[in-house]
Structure 1
Amino acid sequence: MAALPLRNRGLGSWPARRAAMSPQRPALLFGDDVTTYAQLRDRIARLASGLMSRGVSPGDRVAYLGPNHPAFVETMFATHLLGAVFVPLNARLAEPEIDYMLRHSGATALVHAPGSAFSVRPGTVVEVGDAYEKWLEAAGEPAAIDVPVEPGDVAFILYTSGTTGRPKGATLTHSNVVWNCYNLLVGVDVAGDEVTLIGAPLFHVAALNQCLLPTFLKGGRSVIMPAWDVDAAFDLIEAHRVTWMFGVSAMFAGLARSPRWPGADLSSVRSVMSGGAPVPEALIGAYQQRGLTFCQGYGMTETAPGATFLEARESVTHLGSAGLPVFFADVRCVRPDLTDTEPGEPGEVLVRGPNVTPGYWNDPQATRDAFTAGGWFRSGDVARVDAGGHYHVVDRVKDMYISGGENVYPAEVESVLFEHPAIAEAAVVGVPDPKWGEVGRAFVVPLPDAALDPESVRAFLVPRLAKYKIPAYVDVVPALPRTGSGKVRKAELRDRPIPT
């Protein structure tokens, strides 16, 4: 048995430790390829040896650019085995955006998928495929690497989506990620025989830290999709008897609206989990009607990402709630003066705990701005807390608008719009109005072959929302503009000329 890296107290020691416990268990499934934990440990050690021979040292940054692939997992753990910092890059971004992140992080090595767009070239660049495999072969037998790594060392730089200005590089330590795994395992009964579908991008914190790493920790298997595809997801769930998956609202909506949904074999699925944005209650209900446990959580990159979670036992009785604060973190909902809100009163979410980022890479001002004087992280999100302490995330602070003196939270309006039988997607923004100060403007995407007109959409909302919440304008559009991480570019929608 290979020696365990005893001086490495970070994530880089996990492959050797898991391989010692369950060497022949499948760790990763990708297409027709199956990698056991022992095989994965050896490939990671070879990659780490190759990176070390090219000069990668503790604290250096190693970037990965590409869609979901086993090489992502191998590069991440090899980086951490060397005490270096892993920088996963969003493969959906344009070349100038990638170049900025490579320069800002100071990456010394880059592993990338074929066809990736970048012009900044770190000292070591390896393309996934034949070149990558030859690189591993050239490294020879796996070396015994035991670089000192402390829990408080930076493990990741994760760039925010940058809906305004340049993206910030949120840092997460090894300890941040481990405590997040603890929080997840308290809230979800992840088993050693778990079969987890990884359909969301691993370059985002949720799929990585909420699914892949907890599954790895328990010795389960991760079924990796290179990109999200509804039909492929149905096929993989049935073929591999998937038990657990994470997705954002759009992914789950795609499954529920597929013609395969009524007859799909979902009998192996124990639970599904969502986060990233409020999920319409009508969509959650569609899963519950199929007998599936639908759990929601709330968090952000800076909290690694879990801040609140709704456990399976409460998924029906607290439909639509993002749950309670995770076990090893504290969460508050506050007014602008930082006093706690009353039950039902909207306020900004603050988080404090061992899972919270120490700050932003090379950005001391952004780090200072992100925390209160008492050390609480300011989320910029608005939530209401009910009498039982359950959080209901309302919207981003910056997305709220005031119409006739009343606060309007676009996510609430969007959730009702989603209930419309002909609407596939919706986004609402506030726009200037001479009488009311601001009014709502809704952008709706119809389902294929569905007919929508603005007045019928407004008529649908009349019995469901207060009058001041009903958008004054409704635009029927073929698609919504999105960032590289899939978030709607609301600033772009606000800037569109208002029709006369």
Structure 2
Amino acid sequence: MSQYRLDWFTKWAIYRPEKPAIKDQQTGEVLNYRQLNNSGNHLALWFESLGYKKGDRIAVLAEFCLEYIALYAAAQKSGIVLVPLNYRLSATELEYILGEAQPGCILYEDKFSHLLIYKEKIKPLTDIRNHWNFDELIPAFNGDVVEDDALLILYTSGSSGLPKGVLYTHKMTFWNSINTAMSLVINSNTHTVNVMPPFHTGGWNVLLAPILHHGGYVCMVKKFDPYLVNELMSSESVTVFMGVPTMLHMMAQQDNFTHSNFDTLLYIIVGGEPMPIPLIEQYDVLGVAIRQGYGMTEVGPNLTSLPEQDAIRKKGSIGWPNFYVDIRVVKEDGTDANIDETGELWLKGPMVMPAYWNNKELTEMAFSPDGQWFKSGDLVRRDDEGYIFVVDRLKNMYISGGENVYPAEIERVINTIEDVSESVVIGVKDEKWGEVGKAIIVWKPGANIPSDERIRDNIATQLAKFKIPKYFMSLEELPKNDAGKLDRAKLKKLYS
């Protein structure tokens, strides 16, 4: 893969120099592709003058801003590796990541400086705004970057154990973009509003990188504001938007939801967890289609997509694999599962990570014995039309009386009970059965909460007896991690 294929910004600066590329919604500042490319070249040369070379890590503790995207352009050109840091973590958690990633310097916003108890051991570079030079014409930076070089190290949320650094290569980024564009409608006319944070793969790789690769336009919002996002759908002429169900639920609750103009919107991409059918129907009334999909930080992340016309007919499905994604559904004995049999989803393709940063043992565990397939840890099944359904996370499964029990299956049934807002089922120890289920339920305000026995009777109409939870409890809300996903690890720690 040639250097030019890796450096998208140089190409777009030639083809469409004056076309708006990126906007900071908070400040209103906009960069076109010429300015973005110039800034990337200048930063690449600046880092070189400071002695940084290909493979050196640069940590960043900041919200999305124009400068952050310019850093991304510099990384594409020079081979330096960005390590986006999660500003929602504690100082101790960040110290672990910095100690593991060993960056040569850290760029940070002053408002996050209190989190850097580690900064005495690392070179801080806070005042670099004079190095952006958005409008100055800078000669192209001629790096020796190849496709297998690292571009980012994205740390997982650490919901179980210590965070793992996922090596994101230029090759992964390129093929994820191709897969995304072939599954969705991504081109130079695409507009989006990005509400995901920079320390999450959703912030970089679901839409932002593919859209910039194809010469489109991204409006960055630093913090998710559902009312504001509804307004931006019209003012920014959004054609595609990505959010998790929690965000879309919040948007639908705003006073301006039914009055918002979604005319330019082709569809909304939903990830992280299945979107409830009633919420899909709320958007459908306004003519907004929902495309559910599946992704992983380690692979892509954009791996499957459900056509919007199948959102109701194939409810709960994550669709089919994207174009350059190979899959297997593998049973415990290592053989391929048949139709409607449950197995672990294995993945192969040019969008798979090469390794976890500095962790050979975890890398070997993540791949099949022959090293050819990435093991997702997700249990899935395929129906007779080839649609894929996630059954549960392998690590969420518990064994009760010798039977495998998948919490997601039970949660789907509980969530159909009147006045249930959301639920989670965890496995807890039991002297007789080894493990039994414990259902934790959030009820809608003013709900008439039924007895445990009535809930059991309701579940029994749809599931086998061994799948019915033994215990039930209520919470006002379920804990979520920084990606907006349910924090099962915290629930298990508190309530198992």
Aligned to 1:326: 322
Aligned to 2:118: 120
Aligned to 2:14: 20
Deviations 1:54-77 (A, max 9, x none): 222111011222223222212222
Q: Which stretch has the larger CA shift, 277-286 or 183-192?
A: 277-286
Query: 3-state DSSP class of the match of 1:46?
Result: helix
Which residues of 2 match residues 150-161 of structure 1 at below 5 A?
150-161=146-157
Deviations 1:65-105 (A, max 9, x none): 22232222122221232111121222221111112111211
Deviations 1:284-318 (A, max 9, x none): 34333432221122121111212222234544543
> CA contact under 8 A between 1:65 and 1:110: conserved in structure 2?
yes
Q: 1:134 aligned to 2:134?
A: no
Query: 3-state DSSP class of the match of 1:496?
Result: helix
Q: Which stretch has the larger CA shift, 359-368 or 159-168?
A: 159-168
- Which residue, out of 167, 190, 196, partners 1:194? 190
Aligned to 1:167: 163
Deviation at 1:21, TM superposition (A): 1.1
Q: 1:288 aligned to 2:287?
A: no
> CA contact under 8 A between 1:423 and 1:445: conserved in structure 2?
yes
Aligned to 1:496: 494
Q: In 2, distance between residues paired with 1:226 and 1:186? A: 28
Q: In 2, distance between residues paired with 1:138 and 1:170? A: 31
Q: In 1, distance between residues paired with 2:324 and 2:484? A: 29
Query: 3-state DSSP class of the match of 2:318?
Result: coil
Query: 3-state DSSP class of the match of 2:478?
Result: coil
Seen in structure 2, the aligned counterparts of structure 1 residues 429 and 10 have a Cα distance that, compared at 3 Å, is farther
Deviation at 1:493, TM superposition (A): 1.9
Q: In 2, distance between residues paired with 1:208 and 1:62? A: 16
Deviation at 1:341, TM superposition (A): 0.7
Q: Which amino acid aligns with 2:64?
A: N
Q: Which amino acid aligns with 1:126?
A: L
Q: In 2, distance between residues paired with 1:77 and 1:405? A: 53
- Which residue, out of 295, 301, 325, partners 2:297? 301
Q: In 2, distance between residues paired with 1:480 and 1:71? A: 35
Q: Which amino acid aligns with 1:113?
A: E
Q: In 1, distance between residues paired with 2:242 and 2:135? A: 35
How many residue pairs get aligned? The number is 489
Query: 3-state DSSP class of the match of 1:241?
Result: coil
- Which residue, out of 89, 104, 111, partners 1:108? 104
Q: Which stretch has the larger CA shift, 201-210 or 188-197?
A: 201-210
Superposed CA RMSD in Å reads: 2.6
Seen in structure 2, the aligned counterparts of structure 1 residues 442 and 66 have a Cα distance that, compared at 3 Å, is farther
Gaps of 5+ in 2: none
Q: In 1, distance between residues paired with 2:206 and 2:134? A: 34
Seen in structure 2, the aligned counterparts of structure 1 residues 76 and 282 have a Cα distance that, compared at 3 Å, is same
> CA contact under 8 A between 2:207 and 2:242: conserved in structure 1?
yes
Deviation at 1:222, TM superposition (A): 0.6
Query: 3-state DSSP class of the match of 1:148?
Result: coil
- Which residue, out of 375, 380, 402, partners 2:399? 402
Deviation at 1:468, TM superposition (A): 3.8
Query: 3-state DSSP class of the match of 2:298?
Result: helix
TM-score w.r.t. the length of structure 1 is 0.90
Q: Which amino acid aligns with 1:101?
A: I
Q: In 2, distance between residues paired with 1:340 and 1:145? A: 48
Q: In 2, distance between residues paired with 1:409 and 1:257? A: 31
Q: In 2, distance between residues paired with 1:17 and 1:451? A: 61
Query: 3-state DSSP class of the match of 2:317?
Result: coil
TM-score w.r.t. the length of structure 2 is 0.91
- Which residue, out of 38, 47, 54, partners 2:50? 54
Query: 3-state DSSP class of the match of 1:415?
Result: helix
Aligned to 2:65: 69
Aligned to 1:477: 475
Q: In 2, distance between residues paired with 1:363 and 1:376? A: 18
Q: 1:215 aligned to 2:215?
A: no
Aligned to 1:277: 273
Q: 1:204 aligned to 2:234?
A: no
Gaps of 5+ in 1: 1-5
Deviations 1:188-224 (A, max 9, x none): 1113221111112232113311201111122211111
Deviation at 1:458, TM superposition (A): 5.3
Q: 1:377 aligned to 2:374?
A: yes
